[in-house]
Structure 1
Amino acid sequence: MSAHRPARAALLLLAAAVLSVLSGCADAGKLESAGPTPTAIGPTRLWPERQPASIPPLDYGEGETETVRGIEVPGDDVREVNPVDVVRAEQAAHPDALSGPDGMYEETVRQLRDCDTKPKSCPVLKAYHRDLTGDGGAELIIGVSMPKGQLSVRCYLAEKGRLTRIMGTSDAVIGVSLAGRDLIIRAPSNLPGYEYRTAWSWDDHQHAMLPTHDEILRVDKESGETLPSHSHTTTPTATTTPGGRP
């Protein structure tokens, strides 16, 4: 006898009992239809005959990690790490970088060298310590201010006494904020009244922070608040989904 038959018999008995109960309910109050169910509209694939791409688009650094040379983290506590030392170590490892997360202006490099004697002009901003990975420990968030409104944002994870950079990006930046464990970066757009928003989130598989949400949003010029979308048929509300620059 098949092992599934006893289960099927039990299901038949259960179904009969349910029908009996529903029949009693119908006699008492009669079940009424809630109306027709709206037809679900799924995505329509355009140009299905087209061959999918096999080569990824231009990579702008997501998913890249790197151990910071010469920096030790006692007890894997990132609060014991000097942010200026971290940025100096990375600049020393990539002295010729002109773009990307390690790229710096010559002026910024000079200011970095004088952080000890001229702290007010030091480009390394106040460091933040937040749990970005969800492991219960704090990660290190560093910002490096540069000319023309440019800001380099870098995040680091301490593992086995070493410091690993799990995220790095550099761009013209309006502001940076944290929403839960997401790091949200706002950047200006060439379109008047709009801005880019990118949310970077921890990815266990890649073991790095990835740009998981990218959006271009309409904002109020004075308050900087996100304006309602006029594409909705319901009462518009402010968009709260973090996004960012592709």
Structure 2
Amino acid sequence: MIQSLRAPVALVALAVCACAVSGCGAPTGLDDGGAAPPMAAQPSPQPLWPNWTEGARERPGAGESAGKQPPPSPLPGGPEVPSAGLAAVDPYEVLRADPRTKALGRREKIHRPGRPGIRPPVLRDLTGDGSPELVVSADLESGRTVMAVYTARDGKVVPVLYTVGKRLAVETVGTDLVVRSGADDGAEQAVRYRWDGARLASVSDIKTYKRDDSAAPAPDGGP
């Protein structure tokens, strides 16, 4: 009788061992799925002109108008772009070739806010093709700021963005260009531009209103 009971007991023991090895019967139903995939790092804002990043709180002018437009044409009489790209082109020559910025081509270069002049030209890849675009900006006596962006196409300089405002603070997030300022109604404004295959087009225009705590009741319930 004892020998007849040993066989079922042994079979049960073997089944329990098999479940323990295979992980079956775990109360949570969890198992080791392997290493988690690495998380991709998100691009962080990179200011083009750090000295102008803080305190730029005036509304920028209108950029490219909405709606369908033909692709921008190369600058008439603009400089030829060599194989080295826009880094080898004189930015002042570009300004003088653009009818909208021609008057700025003789202004002196400045390195901090407070007086009129041309901010240091910046090269940033805004199209994602690995070749940087040329970004130039000028602060005027009126307090307004002109900013223009140029790309190279078939050896020619092509304007892809033009905007005017006051004390613009500009940064890149990945290949997007973000223009930060203050709106006329006191709101904080950020306009984001993205390459659409022909130009830098506005993809968002966000206003953030500061909270006014001047009318909040006092902690003791007083006015």
Indicate the TM-score class for this superposition, using the shorter chain for normalisation.
0.5 to 0.7
CA change 1:103–1:80 in 2 (3 A) is closer
Q: Deviations over 1:179-220 (max 9, x none)?
A: 11111112222333x22110111112xx11001111111359
Match of residue 92 from structure 2:
84
CA change 1:212–1:67 in 2 (3 A) is same
Q: Normalized per residue, which structure has more helix?
A: 1
- How much identity, in percent, do the aligned residues show? 23
Distance 1:139 1:220 in 2: 38
Do the aligned partners of 2:126 and 2:132 also contact (CA within 8 Å) in 1?
A: yes
RMSD between superposed Cα atoms in Å: 3.1
Distance 2:139 2:168 in 1: 12
Do the aligned partners of 2:109 and 2:120 also contact (CA within 8 Å) in 1?
A: no
Task: Tell me how many residue pairs correspond in the alignment.
Answer: 148
Do the aligned partners of 1:83 and 1:124 also contact (CA within 8 Å) in 2?
A: no
Select the structure of larger CA radius of gyration: 2
3-state SS of paired residue (1:187): strand
Match of residue 64 from structure 2:
61
Distance 2:128 2:93 in 1: 26
Displacement of 1:143: 0.7
Pair 1:135 & 2:142 matched? no
| TM-score relative to the length of structure 1 | 0.51
| TM-score relative to the length of structure 2 | 0.56
Displacement of 1:77: 0.8
Question: Which stretches in structure 1 are left out of the alignment for 5+ residues?
Answer: 1-26, 32-58, 95-101, 222-246
CA change 1:220–1:158 in 2 (3 A) is farther
Question: Which stretches in structure 2 are left out of the alignment for 5+ residues?
Answer: 1-24, 30-61, 213-223
Match of residue 57 from structure 2:
none
Q: Highest relative contact order (Cα 8 Å, sep 6+), 1 or 2? A: 2
Match of residue 216 from structure 1:
207
Distance 1:119 1:190 in 2: 29
Match of residue 197 from structure 1:
190
Q: Deviations over 1:42-77 (max 9, x none)?
A: xxxxxxxxxxxxxxxxx8524662311232111151
How do 1:130-209 and structure 2 match up within 5 A? 130-192=124-186, 194-204=187-197, 207-209=198-200
